């Protein structure tokens, strides 16, 4: 039984929430409590499977799963040289992202139980599970077209959830902007997949990488396809100057969804990394791509931090801060890619290039946790006061003591104050970026200080000051909300106090998986 679960974990992790999502409307007709229990159990099982899978992958390396094949490991049909069926390929990076997705979804679900009330809650949980399915599907798959399908699942469910409070009007606007932009990006992804298919008659990422990395079959069309994929995923990851949809969407989504959306954005970032590092790797002009990533990161940090300063809507402000955080990740990844390009495919990457990649990948997790916690607190404030305008809020620390403590933790982490997790990843990024370009590093540090100023602004205007008469009756947020915030806060403090443990055990396998293109190809095509 145990072996069976370990072997089939790559598909069970997707099938469980999917099955629960299909069952939700049926159970919802019978009993609301039963539905809540089922959704909770399904998400919990998914979380557990994610950790089982992670342990398996960290111990035994890359795991493949051939869907519908005669056996799980039979990636190529017997006696044939190209993969035909859809293959799930789970490496260190995939499980790293899967842990992020399942964890945030689990916490977000706990939060939603007390946040979402009234009509439509059944559909809410269906869509919520679909978001989880979309993220996990993107992260587990080894097939490009499959990636597109799950990208669309993620987009559609996110768009529907952003517009959940449709009566307010603004969520509708955010939602339609989000869905148009993301389906446009997804269509260009599909076009690029078509180009690759027409060129190589392959859809599997490992097999494609094998074809692309040989000089003879690398063509002009392949390059165009790369740019289309790159631009689309950068857009979906929310890098400036294509970030405009992101504050809209984050700002108007219901409480927990904002946090899960951060993880969803990181899933697109994962797709970007997969395309850059695994599918194309050194076939394209990697140093140029590295410089593009660095400049995108820099612009994102700058625009995100400065624009956040003038916002007066609380969640929109945090959304701009999220843009800046994405910038840090792109900056670090860009430096890593740039360094990787110097040594080509085979050589050993320089020390600081490796550290930059570690910092970037570690920061993906930290970004979700930090920004997620802030969104949860902001959601609780909105839940209690029904107000998100910073000019009207004030003095809530009198009634919401715990929430304000969680906000301080999140604020300190997101602006990189020691000893929290944000500092651990940011110092890796600063120091390694400094080796490549000192001025970039200094701008990044300054922007981090800027972020502290921004969040002091929120803290001052929401929690500080005298108790206002309009919020006199406000109480502390419900216990379940505080509990879910506490879960995130505890993880953040753990990551902050033991960064070496996290980097060695979770981040390093992910970074190694990113750089190990040959292993990824070999797992599909068999011992290259």
Task: Give the x/- contact pattern for another protein in 66-105, rule: CB under 8 A.
Answer: xxxxxxx----x--xxxxxxx-------------------
Given a contact cutoff of 8 angstroms between Cβ atoms, the answer to whether 17 and 46 are in contact is yes
Q: Which is nearer to another protein, 20 or 100 (CB)?
A: 20
Token code pair at residue 115: 């946040």
Least distance between another protein and beta carbon 167 (Å): 6
Q: What size, in residues, is the chain?
A: 528
Least distance between another protein and beta carbon 289 (Å): 7
Return the residues of window 215-274 that contact another protein according to CB under 8 A: 219-221, 223-228, 230-231, 234-235, 241-242, 244-245, 247-248, 251-252, 254
Task: Decide: is 210 part of the binding site for another protein (CB under 8 A).
Answer: no
Task: Decide: is 311 part of the binding site for another protein (CB under 8 A).
Answer: yes
Of the residues 5, 45, 52, 176, which one makes contact with another protein according to CB under 8 A: 176
Q: How far apart are the first and last CA of the chain?
A: 33
Return the residues of window 18-57 that contact another protein according to CB under 8 A: 18-19, 21-26, 29
Of the residues 285, 342, 438, 449, which one makes contact with another protein according to CB under 8 A: 285
DSSP secondary structure, 513-527, as one string: HHH-HHHHHHHHHS-
Return the residues of window 452-511 that contact another protein according to CB under 8 A: 453, 457-458, 460-461, 464-466, 468-469, 496-500, 503
Task: Decide: is 330 part of the binding site for another protein (CB under 8 A).
Answer: no
Of the residues 53, 90, 93, 130, which one makes contact with another protein according to CB under 8 A: 130
Return the residues of window 142-161 that contact another protein according to CB under 8 A: 145-146, 149-150, 152-153, 155-157, 159-161
Least distance between another protein and beta carbon 61 (Å): 20
**How far is Cα 294 from Cα 130, in angstroms, rounded to an integer?**
33
Count of CA atoms in the C-beta half-sphere (13 A) of 480: 13
Return the residues of window 385-424 that contact another protein according to CB under 8 A: 386, 390-391, 393-395, 418-419, 423-424
Task: Decide: is 312 part of the binding site for another protein (CB under 8 A).
Answer: yes
**How far is Cα 175 from Cα 403, in angstroms, rounded to an integer?**
28
Q: Which stretch binds another protein (CB under 8 A): 55-63, 271-279, 350-358, 511-519?
A: 350-358
Q: How many CB atoms lie within 10 A of CB 160?
A: 18
Q: Which residues pair with 204 in a beta bridge?
A: 143
Least distance between another protein and beta carbon 519 (Å): 22
Q: Which residues pair with 90 in a beta bridge?
A: 63
Contacts of 334 (CB under 8 A, 6+ apart): 290, 291, 292, 293, 294, 295, 296, 297
* Helical H segments across 116-201, by residue range: 121-140, 144-162, 170-200
- Total residues contacting another protein by CB under 8 A comes to 156
Task: Decide: is 526 part of the binding site for another protein (CB under 8 A).
Answer: no
Q: How many CB atoms lie within 10 A of CB 318?
A: 28
Tell me whether residue 9 is exposed, middle or buried, using C-beta atoms within 10 angstroms of its C-beta: 0 to 12, 13 to 18, 19 or more: buried
Given a contact cutoff of 8 angstroms between Cβ atoms, the answer to whether 426 and 393 are in contact is no
Token code pair at residue 121: 């809650």
Of the residues 96, 270, 352, 406, which one makes contact with another protein according to CB under 8 A: 352
Q: Which is nearer to another protein, 86 or 414 (CB)?
A: 86
Least distance between another protein and beta carbon 266 (Å): 20
Q: Which is nearer to another protein, 18 or 515 (CB)?
A: 18
Least distance between another protein and beta carbon 157 (Å): 5
**CA neighbor of 410 nearest in space, from 402, 420, 401:** 420
Of the residues 259, 307, 341, 525, which one makes contact with another protein according to CB under 8 A: 307
């Amino acid at each position: 039984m145990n072996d069976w679960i370990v072997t089939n974990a790559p598909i069970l992790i997707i099938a469980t929430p999917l099955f629960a999502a299909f069952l939700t409307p049926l159970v919802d007709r019978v009993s609301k409590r039963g539905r809540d229990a089922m959704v909770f159990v399904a998400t919990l099982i998914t979380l557990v499977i994610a950790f089982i899978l992670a342990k398996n992958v960290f111990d035994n390396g890359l795991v493949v799963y051939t869907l519908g094949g005669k056996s799980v490991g039979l990636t190529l049909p017997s006696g044939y040289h190209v993969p035909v069926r859809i293959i799930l390929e789970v490496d260190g990076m995939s499980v790293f992202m899967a842990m992020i997705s399942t964890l945030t979804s689990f916490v977000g679900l706990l939060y939603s139980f007390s946040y979402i009330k009234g009509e439509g809650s059944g559909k809410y949980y269906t869509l919520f599970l679909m978001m989880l399915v979309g993220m996990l599907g993107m992260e587990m798959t080894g097939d490009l077209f499959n990636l597109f399908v799950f990208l669309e699942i993620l987009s559609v469910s996110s768009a529907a959830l952003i517009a959940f409070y449709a009566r307010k009007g603004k969520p509708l606007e955010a939602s339609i902007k989000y869905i148009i932009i993301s389906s446009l990006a997804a269509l260009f992804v599909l076009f690029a997949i078509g180009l690759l298919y027409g060129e190589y008659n392959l859809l599997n990422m490992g097999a494609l990488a094998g074809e692309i990395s040989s000089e003879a079959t690398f063509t002009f069309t392949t390059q165009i396809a790369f740019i289309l994929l790159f631009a689309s995923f950068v857009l979906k990851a929310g890098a400036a100057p294509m970030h405009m949809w992101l504050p809209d969407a984050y700002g108007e989504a219901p409480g927990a969804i904002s946090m899960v959306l951060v993880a969803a954005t990181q899933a697109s970032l994962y797709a970007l990394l997969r395309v850059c590092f695994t599918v194309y790797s050194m076939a394209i002009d990697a140093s140029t791509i590295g410089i593009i990533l660095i400049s995108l990161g820099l612009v994102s940090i700058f625009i995100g931090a400065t624009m956040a300063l003038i916002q007066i809507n609380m969640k929109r402000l945090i959304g701009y801060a999220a843009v800046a955080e994405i910038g840090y990740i792109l900056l670090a990844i860009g430096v890593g890619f740039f360094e990787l390009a110097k040594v080509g495919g085979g050589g050993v990457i320089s020390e600081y290039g490796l550290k930059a990649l570690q910092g970037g990948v570690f920061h993906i997790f930290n970004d979700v946790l930090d920004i997620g916690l802030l969104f949860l607190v902001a959601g609780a404030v909105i839940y209690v006061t029904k107000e998100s305008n910073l000019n009207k809020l004030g003095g809530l620390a009198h009634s919401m003591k715990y929430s304000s403590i969680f906000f301080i933790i999140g604020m300190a982490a997101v602006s990189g104050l020691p000893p929290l997790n944000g500092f651990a990843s940011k110092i890796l990024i600063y120091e390694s970026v400094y080796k490549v370009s000192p001025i970039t590093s200094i701008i990044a540090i300054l922007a981090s200080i800027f972020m502290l100023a921004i969040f002091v602004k929120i803290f001052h205007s929401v929690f500080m000051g005298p108790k206002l008469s309009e919020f006199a009756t406000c109480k502390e947020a419900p216990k379940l909300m505080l509990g879910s915030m506490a879960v995130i806060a505890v993880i953040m403090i753990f990551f902050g106090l033991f960064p070496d443990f996290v980097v060695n055990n979770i981040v390093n396998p992910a970074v190694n998986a990113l750089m190990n293109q040959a292993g990824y190809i070999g797992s599909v095509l068999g011992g290259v």
